[in-house]
Amino acid sequence: MFDRIAEARERNGQPREERPEEVDEFFEPTEEVGYKQGLSLLDRSYENYPSRQELLQPGNGDTLDTLSEHELVTSISDVASELNIRDEVIEKAANLHGVDLSTFEITVDTSNEDTITVPLEGDVAIEHLREPLYEDSRLLYHLYVQCGMGVEEIAQTLSDSLDSVNTSVLERDIQQGLIDVGLLEGNRTDDGRGTVEEEDLRLGGTSIEMKEPESDIRERGGLTVNASDYA
């Protein structure tokens, strides 16, 4: 473990060159509702999306048809968000082109605002972590040391996971957090926290424990919950 920490300190906040493929895949863009948010939901680039005036012209009903049938689109507001056009314009265009947008299938959002999603582990309950998250030594160890992320990537990951509660994590917070837990060199904040070596990757008696990877190939491991600690 200590060799991995020493290597991480030498990176000075930069991503590790050799890291699990799953970490790189985690940052690959995916389809997402919203103009220039993730991959386009249409078979064209965002730059080739119709403007408000073009959407109201004859022959552009196929754009609305395509979006209305997309599995991620569940409302007129979703269509408007994807095209970056107001809801009332979308409704007007739908009427002009004879596109029925009143039959969207209702989907239930099963995402949990009380979790964050990280590579190699999936969803992790926030209640098991110290808040603010950039002060949790186990989480920082997992992202910086085991996943090989850099400061910018960690800030992006936590901000994206907390987007539903409009919380942003700054790079300077991650930088200081890594310093405070001993994963980067620098002046530590005097808040009584120990380094990852001193705490053996456990914090405040919580039941979450960082473990060394079980496979050198996949470098799996990380945040696990020991139910017996709740007994």
8 φ/ψ sector (left φ>0, alpha ψ -120 to 50, else beta): alpha
Annotated domain spans of the chain: 2-20+119-230, 29-110
Q: Enter the DSSP assignment of 192.
A: S
Task: Please choose, from the candidates 92, 102, 100, 101, the residue with its C-alpha nearest in 3D space to the C-alpha of residue 57.
Answer: 92
Q: What is the mean pLDDT of the chain?
A: 81
Give the pLDDT confidence score for residue 230 in this predicted structure: 31
pTM of the model: 0.65
- 155 confidence band (pLDDT: 50, 70, 90): very high
Give the pLDDT confidence score for residue 38 in this predicted structure: 87
3-state helix, strand, coil in the chain (%, to 5): 40, 5, 50
**For residues 159 and 89, what is the distance between their CA atoms, to the nearest angstrom?**
32
pLDDT, mean of residues 10-19? 94
**For residues 7 and 2, what is the distance between their CA atoms, to the nearest angstrom?**
9
Q: Measuring CA to CA, how many Å separate 73 from each of 9, 61, 78, 96, 180?
A: 44, 16, 6, 20, 43
Give the pLDDT confidence score for residue 179 in this predicted structure: 94
pLDDT, mean of residues 167-195? 85
The predicted-structure confidence for 41-78, as pLDDT tens digits, reads as follows 999 999 999 999 999 999 889 999 999 999 999 999 99
Give the pLDDT confidence score for residue 112 in this predicted structure: 52
pLDDT, mean of residues 15-27? 94
Residue percentage of the chain with pLDDT more than 70: 75
Task: Please choose, from the candidates 33, 3, 27, the residue with its C-alpha nearest in 3D space to the C-alpha of residue 15.
Answer: 27
